[in-house]
Amino acid sequence: MVIAAGGTAGHLVPALALADALRDRGAEVSFIGTGRGLEAELVPGAGYPLDRADLRGLERRPSLRFFLFLWSLLKGSADCLAILRRRRPHAVVGGGGYVSAAPVFWAAMVRRPTLIMELDSHMGLANRILSRVADRVALSFPITGRSGGRYILTGRPMSPTLIDASAAAGRRRFGLSEGRPVVLVTGGSLGARSINLAAADAFGRGPLPFQLVHVSGRRDYEMVKNRLEEQGYDSANYHLLDYTNDLPQAVAAADLIVSRSGASVLEIAALGKPALLVPYPHATADHQRKNAEWMAAAGAARIIDDSTLNAELLGKEVGALLEDRERLTAMAAASASLGDRNGAGRIAAEVLRIARENRK
């Protein structure tokens, strides 16, 4: 099997979870990617070969990047065809995003079975194009107009580290004590500046009545660190990190999560955690708000608009929920009712099925 996924952790982590599920079922798996960013570290680190291709995202305006994109259409396609000829995969999987476009398209053109994963509640441009040629489209969320036929609702692939995560192990991993509530603040691998600033200003002054794990992202880390030091923050209870590979353990340890509402809401639900969600206002088709409303409708989350987010509001919301343990417990139960941990198994079974059908 060949999996094409790269770029952000949001694409790589589910792709690696699927790869693990396929490997557990006896399949040989390799990846196609750019060789840049997180994939250069995570894919080989998980024990999978990584074949590099010259792949770039779509650039719509005339610029140097636009010409590099045009070049990558030719060079990346040639790279992908060479990799497919050498690997001769029984199936090719697109993990979402621009990295999957050329590998899946050319695999379909040379009549290799293909499956693409849509990890959000809105189908991105690459997947909208690929859905016309792919044999199967695995959906993490129900999407209006995308059902039946080649579309299958599978849920999001969850990594074994998330499935096996526990509150006790998470507290040990991050040096958190028992008996005091834990709040996790995160904005994804790059971080979310509005959340970072609100959290630093809300919780960075004086002693904290709870323990805070704040994963700021590497971009904002120094800025947040300097801001906290200027305010004399409670370093014993305010744990600032730029990035962690053990985020599932942090989620498991948390009593409440403050985050954006990308497809990671499915991971929050898989561990049964209540959340304060701040949808990214510029997300394509406002899909982060749809994700947040999915959790909020079940009673598992509260939504804060990015435009209204500030230190005072965040502090008030977090404090109110931590003080109302009955409500927090009810939100956790609602979150757990939405959780689904078997997405990787369902998709792996479908990939193997279309591969066997093709061989026959």
pLDDT at 187 over 90: no
- Residues 248, 330, single domain; the answer is yes
Over residues 14-24, the mean pLDDT reads: 94
Of 68-82, 223-237, 250-264, the poorest mean pLDDT is in 68-82
- Residues 121, 267, single domain; the answer is no
Distance CA 275, CA 86 (A): 46
Q: How much is the pLDDT for 179?
A: 87
pLDDT at 65 over 60: yes
Q: How much is the pLDDT for 188?
A: 72
- Residues 132, 200, single domain; the answer is no
Structure tokens at 65: 């990047």
> Domain range holding 43?
2-158+342-359
- Residues 189, 129, single domain; the answer is no
- Residues 43, 128, single domain; the answer is yes
**Measured in Å, how far apart are the chain's first and last C-alpha atoms?**
17
pLDDT at 60 over 60: no
Reduced to 3 states, what is the DSSP secondary structure of residue 195? helix
- Residues 313, 258, single domain; the answer is yes
Structure tokens at 177: 């004590």
Distance CA 171, CA 292 (A): 27
Of 42-46, 123-127, 229-233, 277-281, the poorest mean pLDDT is in 123-127
* Residues contacting residue 168 through CB under 8 Å, at least 6 positions apart: none
- Residues 300, 349, single domain; the answer is no
Q: How much is the pLDDT for 278?
A: 97
Average per-residue pLDDT in the chain? Answer: 91
- Band (pLDDT 50/70/90 cuts) for residue 58 is low
- Residues 238, 146, single domain; the answer is no
Distance CA 155, CA 184 (A): 24
Q: How much is the pLDDT for 328?
A: 97
- Residues 64, 103, single domain; the answer is yes
CA-closest candidate to residue 13, choices 208, 266, 358: 266
Distance CA 228, CA 267 (A): 29
CATH code for the domain of 327: 3.40.50.2000
Cβ-based neighbour number of residue 135 at 10 Å: 19
CA-closest candidate to residue 31, choices 118, 94, 112, 85: 94
Q: 103 with 143: CB under 8 angstroms?
A: no
Q: How many domains are contained in the chain?
A: 2
Structure tokens at 269: 């639900």
More confident residue, 126 or 5: 126
Over residues 125-144, the mean pLDDT reads: 92
pLDDT at 320 over 70: yes
- Residues 147, 177, single domain; the answer is no
pLDDT, tens only, 282-314: 988 888 999 999 999 999 999 999 999 999 999
Q: Which amino acid would we find at residue 305? A: D
Over residues 14-34, the mean pLDDT reads: 94
The values of phi and psi at residue 289, to 5°, are -65, -40
pTM of the entire structure? 0.83
Q: 43 with 16: CB under 8 angstroms?
A: yes
CA-closest candidate to residue 270, choices 300, 293, 244: 300
- Residues 95, 192, single domain; the answer is no
- Band (pLDDT 50/70/90 cuts) for residue 228 is very high
- Residues 329, 353, single domain; the answer is no
